[in-house]
Protein backbone atom coordinates (compact mmCIF):
# COMPACT_ATOMS: atom_id res chain seq x y z
CA UNK A 1 0.00 0.00 0.00
CA UNK A 2 1.17 3.54 -0.73
CA UNK A 3 2.23 5.68 2.19
CA UNK A 4 2.18 9.46 2.05
CA UNK A 5 4.42 11.53 4.29
CA UNK A 6 2.61 14.83 4.35
CA UNK A 7 1.26 17.71 6.35
CA UNK A 8 -2.52 18.14 6.27
CA UNK A 9 -2.45 21.93 6.05
CA UNK A 10 -0.14 21.93 3.01
CA UNK A 11 -1.65 22.46 -0.44
CA UNK A 12 1.10 20.39 -2.06
CA UNK A 13 0.16 17.48 0.19
CA UNK A 14 -3.58 18.03 -0.26
CA UNK A 15 -3.18 17.55 -4.03
CA UNK A 16 -1.86 14.04 -3.40
CA UNK A 17 -4.64 13.20 -0.96
CA UNK A 18 -7.26 14.48 -3.39
CA UNK A 19 -5.94 12.40 -6.29
CA UNK A 20 -5.59 9.24 -4.20
CA UNK A 21 -9.19 9.69 -3.03
CA UNK A 22 -10.41 10.29 -6.60
CA UNK A 23 -8.59 7.14 -7.74
CA UNK A 24 -10.06 5.22 -4.77
CA UNK A 25 -6.52 4.07 -4.08
CA UNK A 26 -5.93 2.84 -0.53
CA UNK A 27 -3.08 4.61 1.21
CA UNK A 28 -1.62 5.34 4.60
CA UNK A 29 -1.00 8.92 5.69
CA UNK A 30 1.84 9.82 8.01
CA UNK A 31 1.56 13.33 9.36
CA UNK A 32 4.85 15.27 9.27
CA UNK A 33 4.90 18.57 11.14
CA UNK A 34 7.34 20.74 9.24
CA UNK A 35 7.05 23.45 11.90
CA UNK A 36 8.48 21.03 14.44
CA UNK A 37 11.34 20.17 12.09
CA UNK A 38 10.03 16.68 11.35
CA UNK A 39 10.96 17.03 7.68
CA UNK A 40 14.59 17.73 8.58
CA UNK A 41 15.38 14.69 10.72
CA UNK A 42 18.05 12.25 9.45
CA UNK A 43 15.32 9.60 8.94
CA UNK A 44 13.19 11.94 6.84
CA UNK A 45 16.17 13.26 4.83
CA UNK A 46 16.85 9.67 3.77
CA UNK A 47 13.43 9.73 2.09
CA UNK A 48 13.83 13.20 0.60
CA UNK A 49 17.20 14.92 0.85
CA UNK A 50 15.39 18.19 0.01
CA UNK A 51 13.63 18.00 3.40
CA UNK A 52 10.13 18.69 2.13
CA UNK A 53 6.74 17.06 2.03
CA UNK A 54 4.94 15.42 0.32
CA UNK A 55 6.85 12.18 -0.19
CA UNK A 56 5.21 9.05 -1.55
CA UNK A 57 6.49 5.69 -0.38
CA UNK A 58 5.80 3.44 -3.35
CA UNK A 59 7.17 0.35 -1.65
CA UNK A 60 9.44 -0.04 1.36
CA UNK A 61 12.60 1.92 0.62
CA UNK A 62 11.33 3.48 -2.65
CA UNK A 63 10.43 7.14 -2.18
CA UNK A 64 9.17 9.77 -4.61
CA UNK A 65 9.16 13.45 -3.56
CA UNK A 66 7.77 16.48 -5.49
CA UNK A 67 3.99 16.74 -5.51
CA UNK A 68 3.58 17.00 -9.28
CA UNK A 69 5.92 14.08 -9.96
CA UNK A 70 3.85 12.07 -7.47
CA UNK A 71 0.64 13.13 -9.23
CA UNK A 72 2.01 12.07 -12.63
CA UNK A 73 3.10 8.74 -11.16
CA UNK A 74 -0.30 8.07 -9.58
CA UNK A 75 -2.24 9.28 -12.62
CA UNK A 76 -0.29 7.16 -15.13
CA UNK A 77 -2.64 4.80 -17.02
CA UNK A 78 -5.73 6.46 -15.56
CA UNK A 79 -8.12 9.01 -17.10
CA UNK A 80 -6.33 11.72 -15.07
CA UNK A 81 -3.32 11.52 -17.39
CA UNK A 82 -4.79 10.53 -20.70
CA UNK A 83 -5.20 12.02 -24.16
CA UNK A 84 -2.99 12.70 -27.13
CA UNK A 85 0.48 14.24 -27.12
CA UNK A 86 -0.81 17.80 -26.97
CA UNK A 87 -3.39 17.07 -24.26
CA UNK A 88 -0.76 15.43 -22.07
CA UNK A 89 1.56 18.39 -22.62
CA UNK A 90 -1.31 20.70 -21.61
CA UNK A 91 -1.61 18.80 -18.34
CA UNK A 92 2.12 19.37 -17.76
CA UNK A 93 1.64 23.01 -18.75
CA UNK A 94 -0.71 23.52 -15.78
CA UNK A 95 1.50 21.52 -13.41
CA UNK A 96 4.53 23.65 -14.32
CA UNK A 97 2.48 26.85 -14.11
CA UNK A 98 1.24 25.84 -10.67
CA UNK A 99 4.73 25.25 -9.31
CA UNK A 100 6.41 28.29 -10.88
CA UNK A 101 3.69 30.95 -10.90
CA UNK A 102 1.14 29.95 -8.29
CA UNK A 103 2.74 27.97 -5.48
CA UNK A 104 5.57 30.37 -4.55
CA UNK A 105 3.31 33.44 -4.42
CA UNK A 106 -0.28 32.50 -3.61
CA UNK A 107 0.17 29.23 -1.72
CA UNK A 108 3.18 30.30 0.34
CA UNK A 109 1.46 33.62 1.18
CA UNK A 110 -1.62 31.69 2.34
CA UNK A 111 0.53 29.38 4.46
CA UNK A 112 2.33 32.32 6.12
CA UNK A 113 -0.97 34.16 6.70
CA UNK A 114 -2.65 31.10 8.22
CA UNK A 115 0.26 29.68 10.16
CA UNK A 116 2.39 32.54 11.36
CA UNK A 117 0.12 35.59 11.17
CA UNK A 118 -2.94 33.52 12.18
CA UNK A 119 -5.05 35.41 9.67
CA UNK A 120 -8.05 33.22 9.00
CA UNK A 121 -10.46 33.64 6.11
CA UNK A 122 -13.03 35.18 8.47
CA UNK A 123 -10.51 37.70 9.76
CA UNK A 124 -9.42 38.57 6.21
CA UNK A 125 -13.04 39.12 5.22
CA UNK A 126 -13.70 41.25 8.31
CA UNK A 127 -10.62 43.37 7.64
CA UNK A 128 -11.63 43.88 4.04
CA UNK A 129 -15.18 44.94 5.02
CA UNK A 130 -13.86 47.23 7.73
CA UNK A 131 -11.45 48.83 5.27
CA UNK A 132 -14.28 49.45 2.80
CA UNK A 133 -16.33 51.01 5.60
CA UNK A 134 -13.39 53.30 6.39
CA UNK A 135 -12.70 51.72 9.77
CA UNK A 136 -9.51 50.24 11.16
CA UNK A 137 -9.54 46.91 12.87
CA UNK A 138 -7.05 44.56 14.45
N1 LIG B 1 8.04 21.57 -5.11
C2 LIG B 1 7.72 20.83 -3.92
C3 LIG B 1 7.48 21.81 -2.80
C4 LIG B 1 7.35 21.07 -1.49
C5 LIG B 1 7.28 22.04 -0.34
O6 LIG B 1 7.70 23.23 -0.42
N7 LIG B 1 6.77 21.52 0.77
C8 LIG B 1 6.66 22.32 1.96
C9 LIG B 1 5.26 22.16 2.52
S10 LIG B 1 4.06 22.73 1.34
C11 LIG B 1 7.66 21.83 2.97
O12 LIG B 1 7.80 20.65 3.17
N13 LIG B 1 8.38 22.74 3.61
C14 LIG B 1 9.29 22.38 4.65
C15 LIG B 1 10.59 23.09 4.56
O16 LIG B 1 10.83 23.80 3.56
O17 LIG B 1 11.36 22.94 5.50
C18 LIG B 1 6.48 19.96 -4.16
O19 LIG B 1 5.66 20.34 -5.00
O20 LIG B 1 6.37 18.91 -3.54
Nearest-10 Cα torsion for 24, 86, 15, 50:
120
* 7-30 per-position pLDDT tens digit: 998 999 999 999 999 999 999 999
Q: Which residue lies with its CA nearest to atom 5 of ligand 1?
A: 52
- Please tell me the CATH code under which domain 2-82 is placed: 3.40.30.10
* 16-73 per-position pLDDT tens digit: 999 999 999 999 999 999 999 999 999 999 999 999 999 999 999 999 999 999 999 9
Query: Which of the 8 DSSP states describes residue 36?
Result: G
Q: How far is the CA of 132 from the centre of ligand 1 (A)?
A: 35
User: What is the residue-wise DSSP string for 48-88?
Assistant: -TT--S-EEEEETTEEEESHHHHHHHHHTTSGGG-S-HHHH
Its pTM surpasses 0.75: yes
Residue ranges of domains in the chain? 2-82, 84-138
Instruction: Please state, in angstroms and rounded to a whole number, the distance separating the CA atoms of residues 75 and 112.
Output: 30
Amino acid sequence: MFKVFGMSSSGNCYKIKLLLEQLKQPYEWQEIDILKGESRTPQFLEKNSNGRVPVLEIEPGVYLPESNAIMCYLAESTPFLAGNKLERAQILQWLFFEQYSHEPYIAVARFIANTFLKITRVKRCYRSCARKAGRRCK
